[in-house]
Amino acid sequence: MHQYFRPGRNTQAESEGSLQTLPGGNLFVGWGSTPFFSEFSPGGRLVLDARLPIDDGSYGVFRFPWSATPSTRPVAAARSTSASRISIYASWNGATTVARWRVLAGRSAASLAAVATVPRRGFETRIDVTNAASSFEVQALSSRGRALAASSPVPVSLG
């Protein structure tokens, strides 16, 4: 029998809890009636310690690869930052397979052409372009460059 502790914290669940053995031998512990979960190496070293949001609870936690494609479209915003520079903001809440963003620009939504492609950087990716276009769209791309979905075309707002 083994015991696992959250170092420096007296965490004891009054009920419930879970333990999952992960590939490679790490152990994922759900601390039952408390809002915490932890991951330990096979030797018992704490490698992850986290908590659920306040007033949220779970009788068991599990760690698995997860992939999601939202039913909604990506969202874009375009803001003029100078006479010739525009910042495009791209986001697709919940999407897990976006590797890059492609920006399309044109004088109208009917005349869009690719002007930039950049790696995805977190929840929202800022893409700066030098362009005189008045309409922009973003396309979410997979790691293989396949277009997953596109935003609606958006006009440029003044910064």
Which tokens in the block code for residue 131? 């362009």
Same domain assignment for residues 48 and 82: no
Domain boundary among 43, 64, 85: 64
Q: How many angstroms from the chain centroid is the CA of residue 152?
A: 21
Q: How many domains are there within the chain?
A: 2
Please give the biggest Cα pair distance in the chain.
69
82 domain residue, yes or no = yes
pLDDT tens column, 139-148 = 999 999 999 9
What pLDDT, in 10s, does the model give residues 112-158?
Answer: 999 999 999 999 999 999 988 999 999 999 999 999 999 999 999 98
Over residues 77-97, mean pLDDT: 94
Summarize pLDDT for 15-53 with one digit per residue, the tens.
Answer: 888 999 999 999 999 988 888 999 999 999 999 999 988
Range of the domain at 116: 75-158
Residues 90 and 45 in one domain: no
**Are residues 90 and 119 both part of a single domain?**
yes
The sheet carrying 46-51 orders its strands as 18-21, 27-30, 36-40, 46-51
**Both 47 and 80 in a single domain?**
no
Residues 105 and 30 in one domain: no
Is residue 56 predicted with pLDDT exceeding 80? no
Question: In this structure, are 84 and 130 located in the same domain?
Answer: yes
Residue 159 confidence (pLDDT): 65
Mean pLDDT of 62-80: 94
In this structure, the answer to whether residues 81 and 152 fall within a common structural domain is: yes
Q: Domain with 94 in it: what CATH number?
A: 2.60.40.10
> Which carries the bigger pLDDT value, residue 103 or residue 5?
103
